[in-house]
Amino acid sequence: MLEPLGYELRISNSIMAVFSGYLINYTIPRAGEISRATIISNYEKIPFEKGMGTIVAERVADVVVMILIISGVLLWKFDIIYDFLYSNLKFNSKLLILFIALILIVFIFFNAIKNSNNRLFKKLRSLFKGFMEGLLSIFIMKKKWAFLAHTLFIWLMYILMFYFTSFSIPQTSGLNFFIILIGFIAASFSVAATNGGIGAYPLAVYAAFSIFDIPEAPSLAFGWIMWVSHTLLIVIVGGISLLLLPIYNRLYPKNRS
């Protein structure tokens, strides 16, 4: 994604930055993306705002895939989901007003940045310009179809990991694939909303499975198995990456590559 912007990123630093970012996400939600852009900026001499823009573009692609998954599930079992939502959720007018107010505040803020000559706002404009260049790089990259294919492949592997792990517990073994997808969606939202899904991941899985009268104990157990397995991977590989980054770049600085 950085190639069309005129930058080259070494694969070693790219991999270590990704795993380091995943690990840092366990401290502050979404801090990993900022740290990843910072690592790339420090060791690869790529402007922070452009690196951050490409990272956000990746997240936009992830959101699009998640929307496609949710839409597919809705179309597949619309009657079941509609009955559940109608029975359990109520319209909240205060939440709607808050959402509209938030949109207005964001609009006013960006309008002020666009038209102001204030030094701070000029700096923000420059950052935003670089950010948008990175964000839009997804449309001008040379290997956009490879990027799209790999994005879909990553999500497919994530879903299959969720599905095959369900066979580790007798009570969840052989669950309908639709139920697995509902649990997957709930678990994914818990990761996005918290520090790597700490505490929330198993509860999200249980909440999703409880819709289909699956007992609490196996639902929580399945959620914990899923969360602990990928958390261990991130902690081990992320920790090694954080330790190796300064050593590797001291031995092989950017100007020697």
In contact, 66 and 188? CB cutoff 8 Å = yes
pLDDT > 90 in the chain, percent: 33
Instruction: Find, among 180, 149, 145, the residue nearest to 165 by Cα.
Output: 180
pLDDT at 131: 63
Does residue 25 contact residue 196 with C-beta atoms inside 8 Å?
A: yes
HSE (side-chain half, CA atoms, 13 Å) at 5? 25
In the predicted model, what is the mean pLDDT of residues 88-101?
62
Burial class (CB in 10 A: 0-12, 13-18, 19+), 149: exposed
pLDDT of residue 87: 61
Q: Answer yes or no: is pLDDT of 228 > 80.
A: yes
The pTM of the full predicted model, rounded to 2 decimals, is 0.72
Q: How far apart are CA 24 and CA 35, in angstroms?
A: 8
Encoding tokens for residue 233?
């991977």
Question: 């270590």: which residue's tokens?
Answer: 16
- Residue ranges per domain, the chain? 3-249
| Number of residues in the chain | 257
Residue 232 has pLDDT above 90, yes or no: yes
Please compute the mean of the pLDDT values over residues 44-58 and round it to a whole number: 85
Q: Which residue has the higher pLDDT, 47 or 57?
A: 47
Which DSSP symbol is given to 142?
T
Tens of pLDDT, residue by residue over 52-65, are: 888 888 888 888 88
- Of residues 83 and 246, which shows the higher confidence score? 246
Closest to 28 measured CA to CA, from 231, 239, 194, 200: 194
Q: What is the mean pLDDT of the chain?
A: 83
∠ at Cα 145 (141, 150), nearest 5°?
Answer: 105
Tell me the pLDDT tens digit for each residue of 177-188: 888 988 998 898
239-246 average pLDDT score:
95
**Chain centroid to CA 133: how far?**
20
Sign (positive/negative) of CA torsion 213, 215, 216, 222?
Answer: negative
- Residue 256's pLDDT band (cuts 50, 70, 90): very low
pLDDT digits (tens, 9 = 90+) for 103-156: 788 777 767 666 777 777 677 777 677 666 666 666 777 788 888 889 899 999
Reply yes or no on whether the pLDDT at 257 is more than 90.
Answer: no
